[in-house]
Amino acid sequence: MNAEARLEKLRSIMRRAGIDFVGLIPSPNLRYLTGKVHYVNERPIMLFIPLDDQPVAVIPKLEVPLFSQHPIECRIFSWADAEGYDQAFQTAFDSMNVTGKTIGVDGLNVRFFEGEIIRQHAPGATVIGVDEHLAEMRIIKDDDEIAALRKAIQISEQALQMTLDTIKVGMSEREIADQLETHLKTLGSEELSFNTIMHGGGNTALPHTGPLGYRIQPGDPLLFDFGGVHQGYRADITRTVFFREPSDDFRAFYEVVKTANATARGAACPGIKAEDVDRATNQVLIDAGYEHLIRHRTGHGLGLEAHEWPYIVEGNERILQPGMVFTVEPGIYQLDVIGVRIEDDVLITADGAESLSTFPRDIMIVG
């Protein structure tokens, strides 16, 4: 989908929601529309998209060359460091005539800083959060987006295999994570999808912390939650493997999560509610007697962000549609003993679902 089509998609959403302007700062939403990467810092950058007029950019002068390459033509109001940004914003708002209008902003990304700029220079406007509407713009992936996700996942799975082949007794979690991240970079990942989670032994029961100081011992579970990035699109994969031979109890623990993962992938299809996938997945864990060890939802959307719509969780009645991509990542965690999570990236197709990630799910013993 080209930039003009994406812009029109946003405007269609704005019309239905009664939004006169959308204001974006550097974020995945801005990248989705422009294809360009800008960074948040002390110099404010904002793009305002009117419902029926040319977009307006207020940017530092040093950003003008990059903005001039955007596929979406816009009126640019630039400012130099020596003069500051106030006059540029005031002139831009005056040109847009925002008095009495509604400006929608991305509340998850816009800082208090930018909010104050709008309040000071557009006092006659009503400012609201439009996160759900912006999520709607990006929730269905086109062919180019899916291709980028496939590449990010391919890089990630190759990097994981390369890492597993090198693990030895006594290596620390940080050393193993460093190897994984080096392999991701060598294979072409633009950056990390998010901070790598790598744990061994009882630390695997900590779902969302970075590598600690633990050193790997025989029989340990090893949990990897990580992802590479291609053209801005982010993989998110989790695998739990075992270093040397695991105990029978660990094997049984693992097999329950493996069954829950397969159930999640099998339940995902167009026309059902997101919460139905979550319910089917959790029921496997509940029936096995592990309800007390469930700590999180089944999954989340995936794209330019590692966490985005749709969320696969109880209470989300969103109907799954072809082109949606999300994770299924059931896990159970016994504190200080073992945690197991198996996460795949799933695409809803016209008649079912495809797991874009294909790394083996059968119990894997390394070292």
Confidence at 70, pLDDT banded by 50, 70, 90:
confident
Question: Which residues are within 8 A (CB) of 67 and not within 5 positions of it... i.e. 6 or more apart?
Answer: 36, 57, 59, 74, 76
pLDDT of residue 344: 98
Mean pLDDT of the chain: 96
pLDDT of residue 1: 77
User: Tell me: the pLDDT tens digits for 226-249?
Assistant: 999 999 999 999 999 999 999 999
| pLDDT(221) > 90 | yes
For the chain, domains (ranges, CATH) are 3-138 (3.40.350.10), 143-366 (3.90.230.10)
Q: At residue 38, what are phi and psi to the nearest 5 degrees?
A: -125, 160
Residue matched to tokens 């999808």: 193
Q: State the Cα–Cα distance between residues 265 and 274, nearest whole angstrom.
A: 12
pLDDT of residue 295: 96
Q: Assess contact for 152 and 235: CB atoms under 8 A.
A: yes
Helix axes 86-96, 112-121, angle to 10 degrees: 60
Give the residues across from 339 on adjacent strands.
Answer: 333
User: Tell me: the pLDDT tens digits for 273-315?
Assistant: 999 999 999 999 999 999 999 999 999 999 999 999 999 999 9
CA dihedral 169, 172, 175, 179 (to 10 degrees): 50
Mean pLDDT of 172-193: 98
Q: How many CB atoms lie within 10 A of CB 234?
A: 28
pLDDT of residue 208: 87
Mark 99-137 as b/e (b = at least 16 C-beta within 10 Å): eebbbbbbeebbeeebeebbeebbeebebeebbebbbbb
Q: State the Cα–Cα distance between residues 366 and 242, nearest whole angstrom.
A: 6
Confidence at 137, pLDDT banded by 50, 70, 90:
very high
pLDDT of residue 282: 98
pLDDT of residue 329: 98
Q: How many CB atoms lie within 10 A of CB 62?
A: 11
Mean pLDDT of 61-82: 92
Q: State the Cα–Cα distance between residues 174 and 214, nearest whole angstrom.
A: 8
Question: What is the value of pTM for the model shown?
Answer: 0.95
How many residues in the chain? Answer: 367
| pLDDT(162) > 80 | yes
Mean pLDDT of 329-333: 98
Q: State the Cα–Cα distance between residues 189 and 180, nearest whole angstrom.
A: 11
Mean pLDDT of 268-277: 98
Q: State the Cα–Cα distance between residues 296 and 281, nearest whole angstrom.
A: 12
Q: State the Cα–Cα distance between residues 215 and 199, nearest whole angstrom.
A: 9
Quick one: how far is CA 70 from the chain centroid?
Answer: 24
